[in-house]
Structure 1
Amino acid sequence: MAEPLGPEKGSTLVRSRRGCLTCRRKRKKCDERRPVCSRCDRSLSPCIWPSPNPASGFLLDIHGVSTIVPLTIDGMGTSSTSSLGPGTTPSELSLYLGESPGVSNSNTWGCAALDSSLNTGCTGSLSLGLSSSSLPTVDLSHEPNIDTPPTRYETPNSSDTSNLTTQIWEYAQDFAPRVIWPPEGFENHEDFDPEGAMPVFHQSVTALIRRESPERLFQDVCYFYSTFLSRIFYDYALIPGSLAEWIYQRFNTSNTSKYAMLGTAALFRSDYERSIMTTSWRACAKELYSLAIQQLAGDLENAQLSAQEKLTGLVEVMNYEYYAGRLSDYYSHGVLAVPLVKTIMGADTLDLLNIRGIDMFNVNFWAWCDILDSMATSRPTWFKYESDLSRAMQPGTDESGASEDKGIEWIYGCPNIIAVILAQTSSLRHAKLLEEEKRSQGVELEQLIRSWQLRPLGAKESLLRVTRVGAQEVWRHAGILYVHHAILKSNSNHPGVRDSVKSIIKTASTLKPGGNPDSFLAVPYFIAGFYATNQKERYILRSRLIGCGNGHFLRNLVSNLDELWKETDSTGRLTSWSEKKPPRLAF
């Protein structure tokens, strides 16, 4: 129990001896709820916890540091020169590869510096922390065979971690991850690999490396996928055996895809690992993204590359931009993908219920972007999305199945039927029809969503099967809310709207925050939050949204949700999230 402050105690006494560092610094009571205590959640303060490993000898003097750097959405531009090693120039990034104490039990690597020149050979590996406990070690004696920036390994010294306390505190104020990934003791952690698919993936990586002897940089991308697989693919257990080959093909498609994949890997590590090296990782991710952009224009004009190969590079670039919150670049590159998708599909109509296979990942990725971008910006979709929904509603048909690698559900979690209806809702929104006809068709779409029977993706674990049913129910009500928003123009007091908001909140309470499937439900949480009226509902949905992960796009959604609530409360009417131009958010 916290001790009361007394005059004899002075300012050195804290009210929560085992609470988070933020509460202890402010001498506030802390409920010690990890990863974010209630007080920090309410005050939107970064919730920082001391190292769980007392043997590490690391203690943060929270009373001795006062510098606080505010988080900005465009944090990709954060300068990292303060944490660069001695003798490093602005054109050279210093990527420190270590683990902060107690975060994971993976081996600690040295540091690698990335030169920005494209005209020199690669002499090492831009390692993002590949550990012997996460991937098999295979001896590669050959030299890398691509034209990439040189990397060199150095041995960290005491100067690399000078003023450690200040660096840790500034990092925490800047980035404050809500989800630490991989979780501590991740090899045996139920959230890390609930399907038990990682051994299959590791075996396929071992076989591929022995057969192909790829460059060392490829192992960094494999580390990224092995660490974040359940956060990248919704039904990640569907493809572990073929995933390594797929990654290898994408990695070697073009320099654009290569640099973009490496940039995304560095970005994820900077977002999810608790380390003082976050600023350096972010700088490295930004540099790799710049290299990908330099290559992109030439690749798009290269007649020797197929439309599929060009789209691969563009998709990897857009993937980075989405997670980094680079909205303008993300939307502009989405437009460039339109003719490529038309060339691949041979038409401007897509049937999500029959686009299947990991080879069609690029098309499915872009189709989902097209649908979500239309919802976020109130513009028509670039493609028509037509499927036989009446047949899909019938149990036992090929279109009704959810366990196949088709459409977008196995990747992003949204049921394919709901995705098609979302696209058709956007299409109806922009159709040249009388408002009465639009409303009539909108009611039909709502009834179609309500009558759809849940057919969840399969899973080995019963708990995951149950939570995936819950995730489908969340998407059902998100679809209903979007129909009310785009077509029926309903306000927050509409009975159907109130019912869907409450249903999403109730179902979300059964899902563990930040894991699979919860991390794939940011869009439903945002839409439900848009319609939330009382402070309790808003607090719950805001917490669920920001608890989905640490990406800048999530922080941007939360920031916009706060603004929408202020505008709604001040004007007395709902303010659409898509009214401002240029777009202020991306789904």
Structure 2
Amino acid sequence: MPTPRMNIRSINGCYTCKNRKKKCDETHPQCLRCIGMGIQCGGYPPLENPDSRGVMRRARPILPATGTKRGTTFKMVMPGSTKYTASHVSSSTTSSVAAGRSQTTNEERNISTEPQGQMSTFSQFPDPPSQPGHSSTADTTQTSLMQQPVVPTQSRDMGYVTGQLPASSDRRPHGSSSGSSAGASSLEIVHSHTPSNHLEEVHIHPSQGQPGPAYGVPAFEHTWNELSVPTQSRPLDSLFSVSASGSGSGSGSGSRSSGSLPSLSFSPSEDEESASDDEDPEGVGIVMCTIPTPDPHAQSNTLPFVLQSYARWANFSVFEPSRIAYQLRDNILARFSSSQASRNRVILIANAITAIGRDAKFTIRSTSIVAILYDEAQQSIAHVTSKQPASRRELDIPLASMSFDHLVEMLLLQCWSLGPRNLMGLMHAAAPVFRRACPEPPEQLVSLPRILLESAFHHRQFAESDVLLTLVSGRSMFFKYDVSFSEETWDRIAREDGLQWLRGLPGQFLVLLAWINGLCEEFGTNVDPQILAEIENRVRSARFAPGVSSDPILTVRRLAVKECWRQTVFVYLYMALCGAGADDPRVAQAVKAFTRIINGVKPGHNPDTFLLIPMHVVGVAARRRKDRDSIRRRIFGLQKGANSGTPPHTALLKLTDIWERTEVENRAAVMAMEGLYSEYQDDMEGVVRGAGPSASAETQKPVKRNIIVDDQHPFDLELYISSYKGQAAIKRLRFIAANSATLQADALRLAIDQVKSTNIDVNLYHQLVTEYNALPSVHKQITLDQDWMAKVKTAKDAEGDRLQVELKTYTTNLIKESTRMAYRDLGNFYRSFGDTANALKHYSKGRESCTTAGHVLQMNMAAVELLVEQLNFAQIYSYVFKAESALESASAGGAGTGKGADKADAEYDRARSKLQLASGIAQLGQGNFQKAAWTFLKLEKNVDDWLGTLVAPADIAIYGTLAALATLSRSQIKASVVESDTFTYFIEQEPYIREIIDAYTNNNFKVVLELLDRHSSRHGLDVVLAPHIGLLTSLIRDRALVLYTTPFTSIRLQRLADAFGLTLFDVEAHIVRLVREGQVKGRVDANEKVLVATQVDPRAELFQRALKAGVENEATARKLILRMKLIQNDLVVKTSKSQQQRVGPPAQDEEMGSIVEVQ
């Protein structure tokens, strides 16, 4: 019986099956698998000459077969000669629409007779000539032509028609242009159509300062169909932007298409691969470069390596990479061949993409690359901001746009490994340049619909990043956009791509999200119901293209992502603008629809990567355990979500914290109280200092609403800031500028004066001046003081070098006391310009050289002061504990009599009060209001040197009083607040606090709420109190309602409304919620609007307690019986004595011991 032959996988299949990693049936001339899948077969490679063993090998493909309508022309102009052209025409596909059906015609492939390798790569580019007009006499023979390298030129189809989906998916992607016909529905696919094959010739030359070869270097003539390449290649505009005329030749839309790199994408590592995900399901790598991956270290493989890097980025970071594959490749080729400087930058970016792609965290290599790019971007920004805006806008826009391109590249590279907090630093730097690059006058708002339809990629990218960062961080947008549109504009946004190919966010939803953000910042939750209804109808009726792909699974995934965005906008609308909680039926319905969609799609890199932001927003409102588990599994399914320290992982921790906190407090999540990144600001601060903004750049606690300052809500900025100095004043001024449009200009101007008075932080001064000059309300801009900056920078560098030399000298000489003082001085030096990480590091190292408990206390107190100044609540506790231990040792060791001992005791008492103040601020910052209240109420007034440096006396009065009113009983407030001798000193610093206390103790709750509302601007602009003032006010109102209703057996809700100064609707909602939570014992008559107290039966209550005790005793007995049976059957293994000494008694024994003790 013959042995059956094994089915060996064929290696001789067609190009298409090989690239798709599928089994080919090797049917000639076209394989049946490709025909059955509805895609065009790429053909088979020819046989090469036999090798040494006589085996015929298949040749590697010269160019990947794409089957798209493209013509590639290589032109070369030899100096002093006529033009010679060698053409290579690939297969083309023409589509015609007739009689309601689509007919596809495939032309024969014409392969040129140029030598092998001449067209396989474009890596042998010579340096372009230094002068465009340079020419010399040369012999132009056919041989010399074939020996010269070539530059590709592309003949592009720019028109569009609409029709049904053809059988072949090897068409030209329509994502390369944003235009489409007016009649295209959401299910129709847009195809390329070329009315003519006219080619325009564009000469590409290097910059003036670039050296050229001595002789014989050809000047390249790069022909491009309706695409212009500037003489000096700009970073991203030349890489991704297409002129408006190009997209309008066929459709007449006049819109501009562009494709580019995202700012909110997170790059996966090379090892990340789902079993269900194909690395390149749509053949983007085939379009971009050759397979296999070339060696990046070989000089001849430079361009293939660059193309491979960008192709890998496109597959992992772009929602629909097939739409931009051709355009991305062509623009990289144009940029690679334009000049040496442009070529070097492209290579640098490719190396950065590769380095960051291998590791989600910055390595030394990736940090150095990003630092080089960042320095170049900073120089470009400084060059623009140092100049006054031109009198004519059309002259100022090109300069700002060129500088803005560099920032967009930094947005791309930074966001791969960092999160929204660090991305905001880059957005801050880019904001003023973005405004100058927009054509709207300074007094006019930037039109978001115009940006989506007409602007270049980098404008659209900045606007989208600005809107999306608001969703996940809660901060206000950098600009308030004009979102007004006509019905025609609304339909154009739906038809055209915009940035939908980038993240899967349809343009209509982006406009609606910006609209919601603007209304929320201006009006909070007091929005006209008609506007809310209009936004809701717009979200419900929004239509978009499904994103059809040759792979039907990808089509379903992309449609699922866009539908998930719809539900996300619903959740954000109801919670942020309507003030609804997670228990609202509308929110619950949207969450249910969202989870139903994601559960119907298999997990994987696509679509989960593009659902990160939607999952974070919807996750806040998820209440059911199965919904939360679905979101948690999706995020952890991504490698970047599973790695600790990455922003998605941090956001997931925050979601988990919200879920646990709402369960413990037995309440529904509210968007105004929950923030995804706000409480992790300090942990993420300083991550980018190696290659990002200055070390002093800080991120502020986000406040969702724009704090209004007017006659009803007064706030004296100059009087308020006069209580602070140094870094405390600067930090508060920057917070006010970021959260109040009314005081933004004044706060930035005062912050600039504060920075100049410190004479230390040049980078922060430059950033503040840039932000101030970018404000629309500023008519007289501030000119950078370059002489002062140079002087301060020189002095700062000299001081830093001196301190480093002193430290090295003392360390070498082993002088401990001098070494400790050197570490202390260096810590103070870094602290002076906000470098928290280095300052804390040197304070910690100084503890190693301490010889006494007093020295240890001094170093720990310096660290505590630094952490309080930077509001790093998470680390304050650990250093307070270390300082308290050192304080006990120092006070015990220095006990004695005399003047010296009294002075030491006074110092120790002052240190003890400072540590108590630090603990109170940390407790308030982390939302532990009751502990914070007791800490502030017991605080002594001997913290003089911290008052003004870290906090003001009025701050202590406000913090302690509001926390006490929200958590303590009336008797406790009278004893600890009204009758306190120590806390009265702080209350006298803020007179209205005394009025609030008196009104509360006298049951005049209407006055209490009115005073809280009147001074809400003061509370909302406090950097410590702002994230919690909404919750504190709600707790105070709830406790007041409980106190007021307790004596009554029944009370009309209208009387409550009059007593509290609220509307009847609001009072009814609050009372119903308090009844459900069990704080008010009663029931509400909704018809009569009466609250009736529940009569408690003492006997029934005693009987219920007895039943509960019986159930608990029964459970305890069952545990004891189970324990006895386990021991009886030798199922309890005792630990060894050595292990018991290390870890203590077993948990089971402890538990049972406590149970027996209770009995």
Q: What TM-score do you get using the length of structure 1 for normalisation? A: 0.59
CA distance in 2, matches of 1:214, 1:310: 31
Does residue 368 of structure 2 align to residue 287 of structure 1?
A: yes
2:675 is aligned, of 548, 573, 577, to: 577
Unmatched tracts of structure 2, length 5 or more: 1-118, 129-205, 210-266, 388-397, 682-698, 703-1159
**For residues 81-129 of structure 1, what are the alpha-carbon distances to aligned partners after superposition, in whole Å with 9 as ceiling and x for unaligned?**
xxxxxxxxxxxxxxxxxxxxxxxxxxxxxxxxxxxxxxxxxxxxxxxxx
Q: Indicate if the aligned counterparts of 2:452 and 2:493 stay in contact, CA closer than 8 A.
A: no
Q: Tell me the equivalent position of 1:564.
A: 658
Alignment partner, residue 325 of structure 2: 240
Which residue type is aligned with residue 196 of structure 1? G
Asked whether the equivalents of residues 451 and 460 of structure 2 are also in contact (C-alpha less than 8 Å), the reply is no
Q: Which residue number corresponds to residue 568 of structure 2?
A: 478
1:268 maps to which residue? 357
Q: Distance in 1 between matches of 2:277 and 2:314?
A: 14
Q: Structure 1 residues 229-238 or 373-382, which shifts more? A: 373-382
The 1:392/1:509 distance shift into structure 2, 3 A limit, reads: farther
Q: How many residues align?
A: 398
What are the within-5 Å matches in structure 2 for residues 66-465 of structure 1?
A: 140=124, 183=273, 191-202=278-289, 219-247=304-332, 259=348, 262-271=351-360, 282-302=363-383, 306-325=399-418, 327-347=420-440, 348-352=445-449, 355-356=452-453, 360-375=456-471, 376-388=473-485, 390-391=487-488, 397-401=491-495, 404-406=496-498, 408-432=499-523, 435-465=525-555
The change in CA–CA distance for 1:417 and 1:405 in structure 2 (over 3 A counts) is closer
Q: Given that residues 255 and 292 in structure 1 are in contact (C-alpha distance below 8 angstroms), is that contact kept between their aligned partners in structure 2?
A: no
- Do the aligned partners of residues 499 and 215 (structure 1) sit closer, same or farther apart at CA in structure 2, a change above 3 Å counting? farther
Equivalent-residue separation in structure 1 for 2:374 and 2:308 (angstroms) = 23
Tell me, yes or no, if the aligned pair for 1:323 and 1:553 is still in contact at 8 Å.
Answer: no
8 Å contact 2:564–2:614 — kept in the other structure?
Answer: yes
> Structure 1 554/321 Cα, relative in aligned 2: closer, same or farther at 3 Å?
same
Give the structure 1 partner of residue 614 of structure 2. 524
Residues 386/241 of structure 1: CA separation in 2 closer, same or farther (3 Å cut): same
Q: What's the CA shift for 1:454?
A: 4.6
Give secondary structure in 2 for the equivalent of 1:398: helix
Helix, strand or coil for the counterpart of 1:521? Answer: helix
Task: Measure, in 2, the Cα distance between the counterparts of 1:343 and 1:577.
Answer: 32
What residue ranges of structure 1 are gaps of 5+ in the alignment?
Answer: 1-134, 148-176, 272-278
Contact 1:456 1:468 in 2 (8 A): yes
What amino acid is aligned across from residue 287 of structure 1 in structure 2? S
Structure 2 counterpart of 1:316, one-letter code: E
Q: Which amino acid aligns with 1:270?
A: D
Partner of 2:140: none
- The 1:563/1:460 distance shift into structure 2, 3 A limit, reads same
Distance in 1 (CA, whole Å) between partners of 2:509 and 2:638 is 21
Which residue identity lines up with residue 297 of structure 1 in the other structure? Answer: Q
Cα gap change, 1:534 to 1:317, in 2 (>3 Å) = same
Name the SS of the counterpart of 2:582 in structure 1: coil
Residue 541 of structure 1 is matched in structure 2 by: 631
Cα distance between partner residues in 1 of 2:587 and 2:505: 20
8 Å Cα contact 2:274-2:605 kept in structure 1 = no
Task: Return the letter of the residue paired with 1:331.
Answer: M
CA gap of 1:488–1:141, structure 2 versus 1, over 3 A, is: closer
Secondary structure of 2:456's aligned partner: helix
Matched residue type, 1:370: D
Cα 1:386–1:184, aligned 2, differ >3 Å: closer, same or farther? closer
* Distance of aligned partners of 1:572 and 1:264 in 2 relative to their CA distance in 1, 3 Å threshold: farther
Q: Structure 1 residue 478: deviation in Å?
A: 0.2
Counterpart residue identity of residue 565, structure 1: W
Report the residue type matching 2:663 in the other structure.
D
2:986 corresponding residue in structure 1: none
Among 491, 500, 514, which residue is 2:604 paired with? 514
SS in 2 for 1:428: helix
Check conservation: 2:268, 2:357, Cα contact below 8 A: no
Q: Deviations over 1:518-571 (max 9, x none)?
A: 321111111111111233221211121233452723223212222322333344
* 1:415-441 Cα shifts (integer Å, max 9, x gaps): 1101110110000101247x5434553
Shift in Å at residue 217 of structure 1?
5.9
Shift of residue 509, structure 1, vs aligned partner = 1.7
CA shift at 1:296, angstroms? 2.6
Please give the secondary structure, in 2, of the residue aligned with 1:456: coil
Aligned residues: percent identity?
19
Shift of 1:384: 0.6
Hey, what does 2:1128 align to over in structure 1?
none
CA shift in 2, pair 1:316/1:224, >3 Å:
same
The C-alpha deviation readout for 1:286-325, integer Å capped at 9, x for no partner, is 2212222333322223469932232221111122222212
What does the per-residue CA deviation read over 1:343-396, in whole Å, with 9 as the maximum and x for residues that have no partner? 332124233476358x82211211111101222233134141425364466xxx
Query: RCO (CA 8 Å, sep 6+): is it higher in 1 or 2?
Result: 1
SS in 1 for 2:640: coil
Pair 1:222–1:201, CA change in 2 (3 A)? closer
Deviation string, structure 1 residues 218-246 (Cα, Å, up to 9, x no partner): 65442222223122221211121120233
The whole-number CA distance in structure 2 between the counterparts of 1:561 and 1:300 is: 37
SS of the aligned residue for 1:355 comes to helix
Report how far residue 506 of structure 1 moved. 0.9
CA distance in 1: counterparts of 2:555 and 2:544, whole angstroms: 12
The 1:201–1:179 alpha-carbon spacing in structure 2 relative to 1, beyond 3 Å, is closer
Q: Secondary structure at the match of 1:382?
A: coil
1:473 deviates by 1.1
Q: Report how far residue 202 of structure 1 moved.
A: 2.3
CA RMSD after TM alignment: 4.0
Compute the displacement of 1:259 (Å).
4.5
Give 2:352's aligned amino acid: G
